[in-house]
Structures are given as C-alpha cells and as structure tokens.
Amino acid sequence: MTTFSAPKGTYDLTPPESETFLAVREAISAPLRRAGYGYIETPGFEHVELFSRGVGESTDIVTKEMYTLTTKGGTELALRPEGTASVLRAALQRNLHRGALPVKLWYSGSYYRYERPQAGRYRHFSQVGAEAMGTEDPALDAELVLLAVDAYRALGLREVRLLLNSLGDQECRPKYRSALQEFLRGLDLDEDTRRRIEINPLRVLDDKREAVQRQLADAPMMRDHLCEACKSYHEQVRDLLTAAGAEFEDDPRLVRGLDYYTRTTFEFVHDGLGSQSAVGGGGRYDGLSEMIGGPPLPSVGWALGVDRTVLALRAEGIAPEAPARAEVFAVPLGEEARRTLFGVVTELRRAGIAADFAYGGKGMKNAMKSANRSGARFAVIAGERDLEQRTVQLKDLESGGQTEVELDAVVETVRRRLG
Ligand code: ATP
Ligand code: MG
C-alpha cells in the first residue's frame, strides 16, 4: 500500500504556518467589514459558460488554466478560477442590484487554475476579494484601493507597491485599440502573439518577454488617448488616493485586456517574490454584467492572493502574532483525577481560558513534558490525595512555584493569576 501525497501544484496548510493564513485572511477582511462590505460565499464550481464569458475567451485562464468537468447528467462545469464572475452572477440571481447601490460584497476562498507550478504559483490557491457593484464614482474606486492598502499596512508589509492605470471606456478605448493594433502588426512577433493582436491587443503590452518589451518602447499608450470623461475620472481617483496618503506609481502598461474592464486598473506588487510578484489586483469592470446577461452595472473590485501575501510576509521577516496557545495544562494522576481534571479543563475553556489535557494516560514524567512543551503558563496537577481534599496543585511553569488551590477555586485563581 503506497501512501498518498497532495496533487501537483497544491500544498497543505498545517500548524503553525496555517495560522499565518488565517491572520492574512483576517487582516484583509477586517477593513472591508468596517467599510460596509457584506460577506458572500458562492459554490466552488459554476457553469463553464459563466467563466468563458465572464473571464473572457481570449484569456489564459479560460483557454489553458480552467479545470472543467462534465457531470453524469451531462452538465459542463468548471472549478472556479476566480471570484468576480461568480459574485456578480450570485448578486444578479438574488436581485441584490435592485436594492440599495452600490452592492458591496467581500469573499474568501479557494480558486483553481491549471498552471505550471512554481514558487508563488499554485493550482489551488486562496484569495480574499471585494466587489462594489452598481455605482460609477471615483470615490468607490479609491475606497477599494485604500482598503487593500490598509490591509497590507495592518499586516506590517512595507514593500508593497501600488501600480495604477486607466484603460479608458467604450468612448475612447476602441480608437486606442485600433491604433495599438496598427502599431503591433508592424512588429516582429511570433504566431501566438500575432493572433493575440487581433483578439486582445492590450494583453500584448503585458508580455513579460524581453524581446517583446524591447519593441514596445514606442507603442501608443492608453494614457495619451483617454477621452475627457475618463481623464477627469482618473484624476479624481488619483487625487483621492493622494489625499489619503496612499503612494502609487502610474504604470501606463498595466492592463487587464478584456473589453469589459474599464477605467481604473491597479495591481499590488511585492519585489521580494521573484517573478510571481503580483500580490493582488483589480479594477473597474463596467461591461461585465452585460457580458453575462445582466443589466448595465458599473462595478469595481479586487482580489488579493493570500498565498503570495504570506510569502511577502516571510520575505519581509514578519511573523504575525502567534495564536493563543494553552494557558493551562492539566496533568491527572490516576483514573479519578482524569475525570475530575477533564471537567476542570472544560470549565476553564468555557470561562475563555485556553486549556489542554494530558491525553493518553501518560505517566507523570511524560505528562509534565507535554505540559512544558505546550507553552502553557500553568499546570494543574491532581492525584488521589489532592482529590480527597478537594484540592489541586497549581504549578507556575515559568517560575516553578507550586501552590495548593481548592478545586472549586481553580478557574478564579487561574484567571486572577493570568491577570
Ligand atoms: P499572475 O499574473 O501572477 O498570473 P493574475 O493576473 O493571473 O496573476 P489575478 O487573476 O488578478 O492574477 O488574481 C489576483 C491575485 O491572486 C494575484 O495577484 C495573485 O496574488 C493571486 N494568484 C493568481 N493566480 C495564482 C496562482 N496560480 N497561485 C497563487 N496565487 C495566485
Ligand atoms: Mg495568471
């Protein structure tokens, strides 16, 4: 019988590192909750169509990275590769967009992409995301960016950079797109990239290869083609961010190459992560609702990668505060003591004091070893003689000092001495 290991491109989260993941999820979601974002959870799989339309037929996600399956009933499903399409689908299905706008939602979960696994790039990964739907207002774009900035700040990250751009709208983007296509068609590019020029020319700007980048030096930039409305909208977003003390870099090459992404686009990068430097990204997607069969619903959102944020913390040498370990460890000597101290542990926990127990009928020596290893401040020790007198021994594992305490007073005494 062979043992199993986790599938390629996946990894298990185990203590103590798993605590860092919880801390990251908590740090990202706390600012959102304070800003009125409500929690949404959607299924781990959706109809394939939702993603081919909602993420885009021309994206790597849809063409190469999606895990698809056909159910026994013949339905084509895909494990969710990202969150926005599902959240928008759910909001429309539940008619949330008919209520007060904007609809502000946040989510946290697992996502699946069939990618080439490497450091910071997995086939199963974790994101926390936020979407604000139904309103076009530069303050909403700024709000979301600032909530992400505050999340990174709360985690203590100092080396996250914010890149910002505007992609224009249906007014100015088509003209720019044609100008860009014309420029790109004149370059020396491979077959695949040439095809991309016709379907998704903005994505070519995002090509990481040196040989491609070198030829793009004189490429027309969206920045120089923005219409007045987009220019003014972008200025307002920038002003709000500046007023809030958020530093950003204008990056005219930053794109999300789909037609329904509009105006504000941003990415958070961390330089300590090698080539998988994007820790999060987002932007405005005013056309997406209509792409998946909904009414016009101008929206903005982001998704931050939890795995890469954890790597960023590690790169900066930041260890989030350790979780509460056991404060009290119970060491029973004998069968009756087991029953009594098990009751004490339950009582301590109900009183909000972290407590653990020497399970497995260990002898005194091994049980004390477990107590010391647990990091607990106190050991509660009891044998037959103690129980006859309705007392226990309370041992301070830091100072080594030991005192006798009435059984009924253990919780109170521990509480007082923990301060
Ligand atoms: P990349 O350019 O690195 O492939 P992306 O543009 O595909 O990123 P998004 O779809 O915008 O990423 O997802 C938001 C965030 O989720 C990313 O910034 C990243 O932190 C994280 N992420 C995306 N794909 C993966 C993956 N395969 N493994 C781990 N984290 C990922
Ligand atoms: Mg990707």
Do residues 281 and 242 both lie within one domain? yes
CA of 61 to the centre of ligand 2 (A): 7
User: What is the tally of structural domains in the chain?
Assistant: 2
CA of 107 to the centre of ligand 1 (A): 16
Query: For residue 122, which atom of ligand 1 is closest to its CA?
Result: 28
CA of 293 to the centre of ligand 1 (A): 26
The whole domain housing 369 covers 328-418
Q: What is the DSSP string of 211-269?
A: HHHHHTTT---GGGG--HHHHHHHHHHHHHHHHTT---EE-TT-----TT-EEEEEEEE
Confirm or reject: Cβ of 130 under 6 Å from ligand 1.
no
The model's pLDDT over 349-370, given as tens digits with 9 standing for 90+, comes to 999 999 999 999 889 999 999 9
Confirm or reject: Cβ of 127 under 6 Å from ligand 1.
yes
Do residues 236 and 375 both lie within one domain? no
Do residues 304 and 340 both lie within one domain? no
Query: Could you say which ligand is closest to the alpha carbon of residue 63?
Result: 2
pTM (2 d.p.): 0.93
Do residues 283 and 354 both lie within one domain? no
CA of 85 to the centre of ligand 1 (A): 15
Amino acid at 319: A
With beta carbons less than 8 A apart as the criterion, state whether 254 and 163 touch.
Answer: yes
For position 403, which CATH number holds? 3.40.50.800
User: Which tokens go with 318?
Assistant: 């930041």
Query: For residue 81, which atom of ligand 1 is closest to its CA?
Result: 10
DSSP state of 352: T
The model's pLDDT over 181-205, given as tens digits with 9 standing for 90+, comes to 999 999 999 999 999 899 889 989 9
The C-alpha torsion from 276 through 316 and 107 to 208, rounded to 10°, is -20
Confirm or reject: Cβ of 177 under 6 Å from ligand 1.
no
Do residues 300 and 334 both lie within one domain? no
The model's pLDDT over 77-108, given as tens digits with 9 standing for 90+, comes to 999 999 999 999 999 999 999 999 999 999 99
Query: For residue 306, which atom of ligand 1 is closest to its CA?
Result: 20
Query: For residue 277, which atom of ligand 1 is closest to its CA?
Result: 3
Burial class (CB in 10 A: 0-12, 13-18, 19+), 160: buried
CA of 331 to the centre of ligand 1 (A): 48
Confirm or reject: Cβ of 122 under 6 Å from ligand 1.
yes
| Measured distance CA(284)–CA(228) in Å, rounded | 18
Q: Residue 365 domain-assigned?
A: yes
State which of 111, 161, 302 you would mutate to test the pocket of ligand 1, scoring each by most atoms of that ligand within 8 A of its C-beta. 111
Do residues 387 and 248 both lie within one domain? no
Residue whose Cα lies nearest atom 28 of ligand 1: it is 121
Do residues 277 and 385 both lie within one domain? no
With beta carbons less than 8 A apart as the criterion, state whether 184 and 198 touch.
Answer: no
Do residues 288 and 338 both lie within one domain? no
* Average pLDDT of span 26-45: 98
* Average pLDDT of span 134-160: 98
Query: For residue 303, which atom of ligand 1 is closest to its CA?
Result: 14
Confirm or reject: Cβ of 279 under 6 Å from ligand 1.
yes
Query: For residue 129, which atom of ligand 1 is closest to its CA?
Result: 14
Do residues 310 and 351 both lie within one domain? no
* Residue 395 predicted with pLDDT over 80: yes
DSSP state of 96: G
| Measured distance CA(186)–CA(129) in Å, rounded | 39
pLDDT of residue 356: 97
pLDDT of residue 56: 85
* Residue 259 predicted with pLDDT over 80: no
* Domain boundary pick from 263, 280, 315: 315
